Amino acid sequence: MFKKYSRLRDITRDRYRYILVDEYQDTAPEVVKILLDYLPQSKRKGGSGFFGDAMQAIYDGGIGDIHDYVAKMSVSEVKKEQNRRNPRLVYELANRLRTDGIEQHASDDLTAPNMSDGKVRDGQIRFYYTTGDSSRLQDVRNHLDWDFSDVLETKELNLTHNLIAPQAGFGDLMAIYDKDGVLNYRDRIVTHIKKNDDLAKYDDCTFGETITMLQQGKTGAALTAVSPTPTMKKFIEARPDLLADAEARNFLAFRRMYVDKEQLVDDKKQSKDEMARKGSSRCDFVKHVFKIQKVVHLYQQRRYNEFLRHTEFKVARSEDKVRLKERIEAIEAMSDQSVSEVINYAHDHGLCLIDDRYAQFTEKKGYLYDRLKDVPYRSFQNLYEYLEGRTTYSTQHKIKGREFDRVLVVMDSGGWNHYNFNNLFENDGNPTVLARTQKLFYVCCTRAKKMLSVYFHNPSQNVINQAEQWFGAENCIAL
Residue 128 dihedral angles phi and psi, to the nearest 5°: -100, 145
Per-residue model confidence (pLDDT) at position 373:
97
* Confidence category of residue 111, pLDDT binned at 50, 70, 90: very high
Average pLDDT over every residue of 401-422: 93
* Confidence category of residue 273, pLDDT binned at 50, 70, 90: low
**Domains of the chain by residue range:** 6-78, 88-159+396-478, 181-255, 262-387
* HSE-up (13 A, CA, CB side) for residue 34: 14
Residue 267 has pLDDT above 80, yes or no: no
Percent of the chain at pLDDT exceeding 70: 98
Q: How would DSSP label each residue in 6-62? A: HHHHHHHHHH-SEEEEESGGGS-HHHHHIIIIIGGGSSS--EEEEE--GGG--STTS
* Confidence category of residue 277, pLDDT binned at 50, 70, 90: low
> pLDDT tens digit string along 145-203?
999 999 999 999 999 999 999 999 999 999 999 999 999 999 999 999 999 999 999 99
* Residue 453 near residue 408 (C-beta atoms within 8 A): yes
Measured torsion, CA atoms of residues 395, 398, 400, 404, in degrees rounded to the nearest 10? -60
Angstrom distance (rounded) from CA 144 to CA 155:
13
Residue-averaged pLDDT of the chain: 94
Per-residue model confidence (pLDDT) at position 415:
82
Per-residue model confidence (pLDDT) at position 266:
82
What is the DSSP code (8-state) at residue 133?
S
Per-residue model confidence (pLDDT) at position 52:
94
Average pLDDT over every residue of 396-417: 92
For residue 96, the surrounding DSSP H or E stretch is helix 88-97
* Residue 386 near residue 276 (C-beta atoms within 8 A): no
* Residue 443 near residue 399 (C-beta atoms within 8 A): yes
Per-residue model confidence (pLDDT) at position 281:
86
Average pLDDT over every residue of 76-103: 94
Per-residue model confidence (pLDDT) at position 257:
96
Q: Which amino acid is at 127?
A: F
CATH code that applies to domain 88-159+396-478? 3.40.50
